[in-house]
Structure 1
Amino acid sequence: MSWRSHGTSTNDSLIDALEKNNVIASRDVVGKAMRKVDRKWYAESADANEAYRDHPLQIGSNATISAPHMHAMCLELSKEYVVVNDDDDDASGGYGNGRVLDVGSGSGYLVACFAEMMVQQNVSSSSSSSKVVGIEHIQSLVDQSIENLKQDDKEEMVQSGLITITKGDGRLGYEAFAPYALIHVGAAAPEVPEALLSQLAAPGRLIIPVGKEDESQSLMVIDKNEKGELKYKDEMGVVYVPLTDEKHQLER
Structure 2
Amino acid sequence: MTSARTRTRMIERLKSQGIVSSEVLGIMGEVPRHAFVDEAISHKAYDDMSLPIGHGQTISQPYIVARMTELAIGVAQRERVLEIGTGCGYQTTVLAQFFKTVYSIERIGGLAKQARERLSTLGVLNTRLRHGDGSRGLPDGAPYDVIMLTAAAPVVPEALIAQLKPGGRMIFPVGGEIQELRMIELTTDGPVEQRLEKVRFVPLLPGMA
Same fold flag (TM > 0.5): yes
Q: Aligned partner of 2:173: which letter?
A: P
- 1:46 positional shift: 0.7
- 1:22 positional shift: 4.5
Aligned to 1:124: none
- 1:14 positional shift: 4.8
**Partner residue of 1:142 out of 88, 91, 112:** 112
Are positions 1:24 and 2:19 aligned together? yes
What percentage of aligned pairs have identical amino acids?
34
Q: Aligned partner of 2:2: which letter?
A: S
Q: Contact conserved, 1:23 with 1:72, CA < 8 A, in 2?
A: no
- 1:26 positional shift: 0.9
Are positions 1:152 and 2:122 aligned together? yes
How far apart, in 1, do the equivalents of 2:192 and 2:11 lie? Answer: 34
Aligned to 1:100: 81
Aligned to 1:112: 93
How far apart, in 2, do the equivalents of 1:135 and 1:210 lie? Answer: 18
Displacement over 6 Å in runs of 4+: none
Aligned to 1:176: 140
1:6-55 alpha-carbon deviations (Å, 9 max, x no partner): xx53363354333441443111x111222331101112351321111110
- 1:148 positional shift: 1.7
TM-score (norm. length: structure 2): 0.91
Aligned to 2:31: 37
Larger Rg: 1
- 1:149 positional shift: 1.3
- 1:216 positional shift: 1.4
TM-score (norm. length: structure 1): 0.76
Q: Contact conserved, 1:191 with 1:211, CA < 8 A, in 2?
A: yes
**Partner residue of 1:79 out of 73, 82, 93:** 73
How far apart, in 2, do the equivalents of 1:75 and 1:183 lie? Answer: 11
How far apart, in 2, do the equivalents of 1:103 and 1:203 lie? Answer: 19
- 1:170 positional shift: 0.9
Secondary structure, aligned partner of 1:245: coil
Aligned to 1:231: 192
How far apart, in 1, do the equivalents of 2:98 and 2:117 lie? Answer: 21
Q: Closer, same or farther in 2 for the Cα pair 1:246/1:60, shift >3 Å?
A: farther
Q: Aligned partner of 1:102: which letter?
A: E
Aligned length: 207
Q: Contact conserved, 1:181 with 1:205, CA < 8 A, in 2?
A: yes
How far apart, in 2, do the equivalents of 1:151 and 1:23 lie? Answer: 32
- 1:193 positional shift: 2.1
Secondary structure, aligned partner of 2:74: helix
Secondary structure, aligned partner of 2:201: coil
Q: Aligned partner of 2:145: which letter?
A: A
- 1:246 positional shift: 4.8
Q: Aligned partner of 2:82: which letter?
A: L
- 1:111 positional shift: 1.2
Secondary structure, aligned partner of 1:202: strand
Q: Closer, same or farther in 2 for the Cα pair 1:49/1:102, shift >3 Å?
A: same
Q: Aligned partner of 2:204: which letter?
A: L
Q: Contact conserved, 2:57 with 2:87, CA < 8 A, in 1?
A: yes
Q: Structure 2: any 5+ residue segments left out of the alignment?
A: none
Instruction: Say what the alpha-carbon RMSD is for the aligned residues.
Output: 1.9
Q: Structure 1: any 5+ residue segments left out of the alignment?
A: 1-7, 82-94, 119-129
How far apart, in 1, do the equivalents of 2:169 and 2:94 lie? Answer: 17
